[in-house]
């Protein structure tokens, strides 16, 4: 059976239309979940809890895609220093 791990995390963004966190040290890691539905439920709970702050965003990251070494890699954005 294939594991499909998902990470749910979030925090306050600089601009609500972007994905740059205001303070990386304050990122809230909700947890790692064994399937998308469980991750979605955790994401939804955090998103609803912080609905009054337009700059707060939570994300679901598909960790299993990073662990699948046989899958072709996807292009990534160049990291700015």
Instruction: Render pLDDT for 50-66 as a digit per residue (tens, 0 to 9).
Output: 999 999 999 999 987 77
Query: Domain spans of the chain?
Result: 6-67
Quickly list DSSP for the chain.
-----EEEEEEEBSSTTS--BS-GGG-EEEEEESSHHHHHHHHHHHHHHTTT-TTEEEEEEEHHHHH-TTSPPPP-PPPP-
From the options 3.30.70.2400, 1.10.287.3510, 3.60.40.10, 2.40.50.100, give the CATH code of 6-67: 3.30.70.2400
Q: What is the CA radius of gyration of the chain?
A: 14
- Contact between residue 61 and residue 7 where contact means Cβ atoms under 8 Å apart: yes
Instruction: Render pLDDT for 37-54 as a digit per residue (tens, 0 to 9).
Output: 999 999 999 999 999 999
């Amino acid at each position: 059976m294939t594991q499909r791990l998902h990470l749910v995390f979030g925090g306050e963004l600089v601009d609500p239309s972007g994905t740059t966190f205001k303070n990386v040290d304050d990122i809230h890691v909700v947890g790692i979940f064994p399937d998308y539905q469980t991750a979605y439920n955790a994401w939804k709970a955090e998103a609803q809890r912080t609905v009054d702050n337009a700059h707060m965003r939570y994300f679901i990251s598909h960790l299993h895609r990073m662990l699948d070494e046989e899958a072709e890699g996807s292009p990534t954005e160049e990291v700015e220093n």
